[in-house]
Amino acid sequence: MTGFNLREADGDRPFVTFDELYVRASYSSLLRLAPVIDAVRLTRPHARIMRTAGRFNFSDIQDRLAAAPKSEEPPKPARFAVYNIEVLHGRVDADDRVVAKRIELADIDLGLPFLSSLESHRTVFVEPRFSANVNGARIEAKAKSTPFSDTRESVLHLDLHDFDLTPWVVYSPVQLPFRLASAKLDLGLDVTFAQPPGKAPSIVVAGRTELKAVAADFLTGQPLLRLASAAAEIAAIEPLAGRYELAKVRVVSPEVWVWRDKDGEFPHHGGVSLSSNGKAEFRQSQRQWQ
C-alpha cells in the first residue's frame, strides 16, 4: 500500500499519513487459522495530534469505540506471529493548543525481530533498535545479538535519565482522574527477544525503572500524591505471556491526601495525609467542594 492519507473528521487536515506499508504474509496463516506475517515495513509514517479545549483530533474515534457493544465473554488470548517489523523515518507532531505547547518526535527508527504468541519460527533479519529526536534531543537504544546461540537472542538496552513525563500525559487515550504536576523517569531495561527451539518466541523485559519528584493533584487543584521516588527492580516481564515478576519495590517519602467533606463524604478533596515517617494527619473540611 502506498500514499495513505487519513484525514481528520472535518476533512481539512491530514491525521495519519505514510508513504508505504509493505506486508509479506506466510502461507502458514491458513494452517494455523491465525495471522503469521514474515515481514512488515512502514515507511515515513506521520501522525498529527492536536488538542483544543479538552478534545483531541481523534476524539471522534474514541467516542465510536466507547459506544460499540461490549462482549460479555472474557476475551481470549490473541494468536498471532509478526516477524521483522520496521518503522522507517517516522514522525509525530503534537500541537497542544490548551497550554500552547508543541512536541515533535522526528526521525523515528524502530526495529523489532518479532511479536508472537505462536510456536512459529521464521528467519529474522531485523535486529532490535530504536532511535528518535524528541524536540531536538536524541534518544537511542543500543542492541546486541547472539545469532549463533541456540536461542538466537537479541537484546535491546533502553537507557533514560530524568525524562520529563508531564508533557505527555495529556495525550493519554483515556481520561486520567488526576493532574500530573511533575514526574521524571529513569529507565535501565533490557528487552530480550529469543526463539528457543520447540517453544514459542519470547520477549522478556528486565532491569530497573524509577519515578522521581512525583507530584499529582486532583483535577480541582488540591494535592493528591507526592513522592520523592518510587523504584522497581523488574525480574522478568513477559507481556505476550502475561507474566509479571518484580524483585523489589522501594518508595521514598510518600504523601497521600484524601479529602472528606463536612457530611463525611469523600469528594476527592480534604484531609488525610500519610507520610514516610509513619504519621497520619487528619483535617476535617468545613465546606462542600464542588
Question: Binning pLDDT at 50, 70 and 90, where does residue 279 land?
Answer: very low
* Size (the chain), residues: 290
Residue 15 lies in a domain: yes
CA distance 285 to 265: 10
Nearest to 241 by CA among 200, 209, 210, 207: 200
Whole-angstrom CA distances from 96 to 37, 50, 143, 224, 271 are: 37, 6, 34, 25, 33
Considering only 118-122, 138-142, 245-249, 284-288, which range has the smallest mean pLDDT?
Answer: 284-288
CA distance 128 to 104: 23
Residue 259 lies in a domain: no
Residue 141 lies in a domain: yes
Number of domains in the chain: 1
Q: Return the SS3 of 61.
A: helix
Residue 36 lies in a domain: yes
| pLDDT tens column, 67-86 | 888 777 776 767 788 889 99
Residues 6+ apart with CB under 8 A from 74: none
| pLDDT tens column, 78-116 | 778 888 999 999 999 988 888 788 889 999 999 988 887
Residue 285 lies in a domain: no
CB 228 within 8 A of CB 275: no
> Has residue 255 got a pLDDT over 60?
yes
Residue 153 lies in a domain: yes
Residue 267 lies in a domain: no
pTM (2 decimals)? 0.69
Residue 223 lies in a domain: yes
Q: Return the SS3 of 231.
A: strand
Structural domain for 26, as ranges: 2-253
